[in-house]
């Protein structure tokens, strides 16, 4: 008979590399609805939300956006958006 009564001892902590923080929030029109896309400093997209969710509003609160994501650094990241959508986009840079 086991002395643990069916409850196992927790395993030791495993060190893993930490995830990189989100650096950019791009609020862009996508088919008539605002979408908030989150990017790392490398412009790799890590998440996407509806444009009006409160969590995104909290992230960008007090920050001034740069209008337009038409630069070449955004070409690969926003390739599914039209030139007009990219020009109207708000790009927020988060403090890291």
Give the pLDDT of residue 3: 65
Give the pLDDT of residue 4: 59
Mean pLDDT of 74-93: 92
Give the pLDDT of residue 65: 94
Q: What is the pLDDT of residues 3-44, one digit of tens each?
A: 657 777 788 888 888 888 999 999 999 888 899 999 999 999
Q: What is the pLDDT of residues 39-66, one digit of tens each?
A: 999 999 999 999 889 999 999 999 999 9
Closest by CA position to 47, among listed 55, 36, 58, 57: 36
| 38: alpha, beta or left? (left if phi > 0; alpha if psi -120 to 50) | beta
């Amino acid at each position: 008979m086991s002395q643990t009564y069916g409850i196992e001892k927790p395993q030791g902590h495993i060190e893993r590399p930490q995830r990189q923080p989100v650096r950019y929030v791009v609020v862009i029109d996508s088919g008539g609805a605002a979408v908030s896309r989150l990017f790392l400093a490398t412009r790799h997209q890590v998440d996407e939300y509806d444009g009006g969710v409160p969590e995104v509003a909290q992230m960008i609160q007090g920050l001034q956006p740069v209008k337009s994501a038409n630069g070449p650094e955004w070409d690969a990241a926003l390739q599914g958006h039209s030139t007009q959508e990219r020009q109207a986009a708000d790009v927020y840079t988060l403090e890291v």
